[in-house]
Amino acid sequence: MPTLTHWIGGERLEGERHLDVTNPASAEVIGRVPMADAATVERAIDAARAVQPTWRDTPPARRAQVMFRFKMLLERDADEICALISREHGKVLEDAMGELKRGIENVEYACGVPELLKGEYSHNAGPGIDTWSNHQPLGIVAGITPFNFPAMVPLWMFPMAIACGNAFILKPSEQAPSTSLKMAELLGEAGLPVGLFQVIHGDREAVEALIDAPEVKALSFVGSTPVAKAIYRRGADNGKRVQALGGAKNHAVVRPDADLDNAASTLIGAAYGSAGERCMAISVAVCVGDATADALVASIGEQARTLKIGPGTEKGLDMGALVNAAHRDKVAGYIEQGAAAGAELVVDGRRHPLVEASPGYFLGATLFDRVTPEVSIYRDEIFGPVLCVVRVETFEDAIALVNAHQYGNGTCVFTRDGEAARRFADAIEVGMVGINVPLPVPVAFHSFGGWKESLFGDLHAYGPDAVRFYTRRKAISQRWPARNAQEKAQLNFPSS
């Protein structure tokens, strides 16, 4: 059984304390991952400190060249990376390829860093004074990432952080740790100097050591809301820049004027893709009117029963296993609670044959109808293949329902009415909005982030916000007085 290592100063480093890594499709232990202590974190910081000043002074165009090569290497080894993702996470290979491609978009965006760092310039901002502002790297920055996107979420962070001139320390999820090591190897092959990208595996101990280290200037976190909040607070106490993206409960509002066939088939993908283990998964369909709900539930119910489920590494499947036994049991527990609370269980994923027949952590697609806002399956993030249908009378009721929820990550409206779509986009209190687009994950040149309990911090992830997050602005004013100019002392506040 392979023992994974940290990646520090360009070398593999073993650890003393370990956790098992499991294949969710078979429940087999497939590796052991070391858990870093504070001394290991310190080692990574030392290695980063030794190289970052030289990297900071390397022209952005040369830094970008590394990202061009890294992109090509990710594409070259895409199949291998997707196999690693699927083996540890459980998602199907095609879905892993989708995540990797979306991740690579962020590397492409980072290739444009010379343009993004150009800054602003004013000639003659005052008499004989030129002023410009530029972006300077922060130094050493860190990222803490969740299990559900082992490639994409780290790629939201480190390509831009490094391209901006920082050194980056990644603490990936201990449940899906191998992809980050593969990316570290590829960055080395792409010519990134040793120490600029490092991987430390671990749990709370490692994360707290990163937050408390004065040399780490900024933290990007993606994961569950309670951890996001705790990291945001502790980071802020330490005077750090923090962006902490949390959990979600994403609603799709389905109006009576929508193309219901299209809404049903795209909702199947948005609710059950990746077994619902996506922060942008749709987990609530709010149907305006009973006729809309009846038609949608009939169509989704029929399709949900026929989804092909199995080990993610097999081709042609729709859904793989959930990440681990505890999580599968938690999701099954929510199904139990929903049924006990009186919601109508239209399709029960616990009855899927693989749940009994396989040692893996499988659960079929589940559909609830007539869910009410006070029950736990509506309030909480379940993070599994469970879709709840809530019936409301009017479109305004639907908007009010979405706005009252604690989370505000993504949402979507299905409609053919432009006026309604515009009203939705304006009134909805959610960070990412789709109009007939159920997974409105912005492309890499826009930023990603939710509102309310889905994000703590000011700046969103990737896109233009990433340049702002991983740099600090400096405004420089310069004047070259004429030789021998007889200038009088000026005591008033200078103005133009």
Catalytic residue among 279, 287, 388, 412: 279
246: left (phi over 0), alpha (psi -120 to 50) or beta: beta
Q: How far is the CB of 114 from ligand NAD (least distance, A)?
A: 28
Q: Where are the alpha helices (DSSP H) in 238-324?
A: 260-272, 290-305
Q: Residue 379 in contact with residue 373, Cβ under 8 Å?
A: yes
**433 CB contacts (<8 Å, ≥6 apart)?**
410, 411, 412, 413, 424, 425, 440
Q: How far is Cα 115 from Cα 14, in angstroms, rounded to an integer?
A: 40
Which of these segments, 10-18, 88-96, 102-110, 146-154, binds ligand NAD (CB under 6 A)? 146-154
The footprint of ligand NAD on residues 154-183 (CB under 6 A) is: 171, 173-174
Burial class, 263, CB count within 10 angstroms (exposed 0-12 / middle 13-18 / buried 19+): buried
Q: Give 153 or 184: the residue with its C-beta nearer to ligand NAD.
A: 153
Q: How many distinct helices (H) and strands (E) make up the chain? A: 17, 22
Residue from the set 52, 303, 313, 409 that interacts with ligand NAD by CB under 6 A = 409
Q: How far is the CB of 483 from ligand NAD (least distance, A)?
A: 57
Q: How far is the CB of 149 from ligand NAD (least distance, A)?
A: 6
Q: Give 277 or 369: the residue with its C-beta nearer to ligand NAD.
A: 277
Q: Give 246 or 440: the residue with its C-beta nearer to ligand NAD.
A: 246
Q: Give 77 or 174: the residue with its C-beta nearer to ligand NAD.
A: 174
Quick one: DSSP state of residue 448?
B
Q: How far is the CB of 222 from ligand NAD (least distance, A)?
A: 5
Question: Does position 380 bind ligand NAD by CB under 6 A?
Answer: no
Rg of the chain over Cα atoms, rounded to whole angstroms, equals 25
Q: Give 33 or 421: the residue with its C-beta nearer to ligand NAD.
A: 33
Q: Give 204 or 473: the residue with its C-beta nearer to ligand NAD.
A: 204
Residue from the set 454, 460, 462, 463 that interacts with ligand NAD by CB under 6 A = 454
Quick one: DSSP state of residue 360?
S
Q: How far is Cα 302 from Cα 65, in angstroms, rounded to an integer?
A: 50
Task: Tell me the C-alpha to C-alpha distance, in Å, between residue 87 and each of 277, 323, 341, 388.
Answer: 15, 10, 36, 29
Burial class, 134, CB count within 10 angstroms (exposed 0-12 / middle 13-18 / buried 19+): middle
Q: Give 145 or 366: the residue with its C-beta nearer to ligand NAD.
A: 145
x/- site string to ligand NAD, residues 98 to 117, per CB under 6 A? Answer: --------------------
Question: Does position 247 bind ligand NAD by CB under 6 A?
Answer: yes
Report how many residues bind ligand NAD under the rule CB under 6 A: 27
Q: Give 248 or 319: the residue with its C-beta nearer to ligand NAD.
A: 248
Residue from the set 62, 118, 204, 422 that interacts with ligand NAD by CB under 6 A = 204
Q: How far is CA 58 from the centre of its chain?
A: 29
Q: How far is the CB of 231 from ligand NAD (least distance, A)?
A: 6
For the question of residue 111 being annotated catalytic, the response is no
Residue from the set 147, 168, 334, 414 that interacts with ligand NAD by CB under 6 A = 147
- Taking CB atoms, the residue at the shortest distance from ligand NAD is 223
Q: How far is Cα 157 from Cα 463, in angstroms, rounded to an integer?
A: 10
Question: Does position 383 bind ligand NAD by CB under 6 A?
Answer: yes
Q: How far is Cα 99 from Cα 89, in angstroms, rounded to an integer?
A: 12
Residue from the set 108, 130, 203, 215 that interacts with ligand NAD by CB under 6 A = 203
Q: Give 223 or 312: the residue with its C-beta nearer to ligand NAD.
A: 223
Q: Residue 388 in contact with residue 378, Cβ under 8 Å?
A: yes
The footprint of ligand NAD on residues 208-227 (CB under 6 A) is: 222-224, 227
Question: Does position 245 bind ligand NAD by CB under 6 A?
Answer: yes
Question: Does position 279 bind ligand NAD by CB under 6 A?
Answer: yes
The footprint of ligand NAD on residues 303-362 (CB under 6 A) is: none
Question: Does position 145 bind ligand NAD by CB under 6 A?
Answer: yes
DSSP 198-251: EE---SHHHHHHHHH-TTEEEEEEES-HHHHHHHHHHHHHTT-EEEEE----EE
Q: How far is the CB of 464 from ligand NAD (least distance, A)?
A: 17
Residue from the set 146, 338, 408, 440 that interacts with ligand NAD by CB under 6 A = 146
Structure tokens at 130: 């030129």
27: left (phi over 0), alpha (psi -120 to 50) or beta: left
* 3-class DSSP assignment, residue 48: helix
Q: How far is the CB of 440 from ligand NAD (least distance, A)?
A: 12
**Which amino acid type is present at position 76?**
R
Q: If we measure between CA atoms, which residue out of 170, 151, 171 comes closest to residue 161?
A: 170
Question: Does position 457 bind ligand NAD by CB under 6 A?
Answer: no
Q: How far is Cα 98 from Cα 183, in angstroms, rounded to an integer?
A: 17
Residue from the set 248, 354, 377, 420 that interacts with ligand NAD by CB under 6 A = 248
> Can you give the binding site for ligand NAD, defined by CB under 6 A?
144-149, 153, 171, 173-174, 203-204, 207, 222-224, 227, 245-248, 279, 381, 383, 409, 450, 454
- Write out the catalytic residue numbers: 279
